[in-house]
Structure 1
Amino acid sequence: MGVAGSGKTTVAELLAARLKVPYAEADEFHPPANIAKMSAGHPLTDEDRWPWLRAIAQWIKEQAAAGGGVVTCSALKRSYRDLLREGTTEVWFVHLAGTHELLADRIGHRKGHFMPAALLDSQFADLQPLAPDEPGVTLDVALSPEELVEAAVASLT
């Protein structure tokens, strides 16, 4: 989990390979209307997000029953994470956290992604970091992707 530019895709792909489990990119669960809205520079509302989050939660439930999986998702708010945990207790969040400046720079150098840098402010405004009673770990994206994977794996044990 984390805001745009935090490295969710890179870290999740490496983590899934390391754990030998399926991987899913949350962006692939968005309906076309959400992608069009974000591409036009408009932030999603909670109403836009609920169907997307339900689809991801269903994937998580299916993968938990089949032995596990890794999925990227911004999961910015506690209520979103609560929905993602519905149907299974086998959810562990890895919050990839970084400064606004670092993440804006990363987004500015990305190619071929629909999320414009202008929406980063709205994501930081919505972000509710993991609470102490939520299952997961917060990691600093200043670490390399490989170091983040190692830290994520270590947090699972």
Structure 2
Amino acid sequence: MRGNQVLVIMGVSGSGKSTIGALLAQQLGVPFHDADDFHSAANVAKMQAGTPLEDEDRKDWLAALVAGIREWSRQGGAVLACSALKEAYRQQLATAGPLVWVFLDGSQELVRTRLAARSQHYMNPALLASQFAILEKPAYGLCLSIAEAPQQLVAQILAYLREESVSANPGAGA
């Protein structure tokens, strides 16, 4: 990982973004941030009630994340867990600078099982279908199956970062 990179761990709610992101940040020695913490109280209330957010609801949230990414990059990098379900959202986040994307992919059935097992999150499991409905899978970055254990996923991300670092600086691996 280059010194000022921000890695975005993306996917639907329940895909393991926060778990993987926190483990990865610990391994890399950089701060971890969860995009959920940047939602307004109104957005949180809407999601708790089972009402999907609209693009308009996400404007201030995305702007706050762009500002955060710029700051984290200046401070030496970070890992951000963020749904980033639509390409338009990812493009807006990318205005903050180059990002490394990791997409956690899994079936709706597997994610539904995970959501049913967790109790410490405001996301209403009834919103899962709406998340899959708007999900635009990226054709770039690293795509990983969430069927694997978190430690395995982190190891794959670290290997990907090493590979990217060597390909960005061919003399580094020699």
**Class of the TM-score when normalised by the shorter of the 2 chains:** over 0.9
Which amino acid letter does the alignment assign opposite residue 92 of structure 2? Answer: L
The Cα shift of 1:88 comes to: 1.0
Identity across aligned pairs (percent)?
A: 48
RMSD: 0.8
What is the CA deviation profile of residues 19-74 of structure 1, one whole-angstrom value per residue up to 9, with x for unaligned ones?
10011111110000000000000000000012111111111111112211001100
Superposed CA deviations along residues 1-20 of structure 1, whole A, max 9, x for unmatched, are 00011000100000000110
Which is greater in Rg?
Answer: 2
Q: Which residue of 2 aligns with 1:72?
A: 81
Name the CA distance, whole Å, in 2 between partners of 1:87 and 1:109. 35
Partner of 1:85: 94
Structure 1 Cα separation of the partners of residues 101 and 60 of structure 2: 20
- What's the CA shift for 1:139? 0.3
Question: Normalised by the size of structure 2, how large is the TM-score?
Answer: 0.86
TM norm structure 1: 0.95
Gaps of at least 5 residues in structure 1 are none
Task: Select 2:158's aligned residue among 139, 153, 156.
Answer: 153
Q: After the TM superposition, which parts of structure 1 deviate over 2 Å for at least 4 consecutive aligned residues?
A: none
Post-superposition CA distance 1:118-145 (Å, at most 9, x none): 10000000100112xx4x2110001100
Aligned to 1:15: 24
Q: Which residue in 1 is equivalent to 2:104? A: 96
Shift of 1:87: 2.5
Q: 2:122 aligns with which of 114, 117, 127?
A: 114
2:149 matches 1:144: yes
Structure with more strand by fraction:
2
Residue type matched to 2:75 in 1?
A
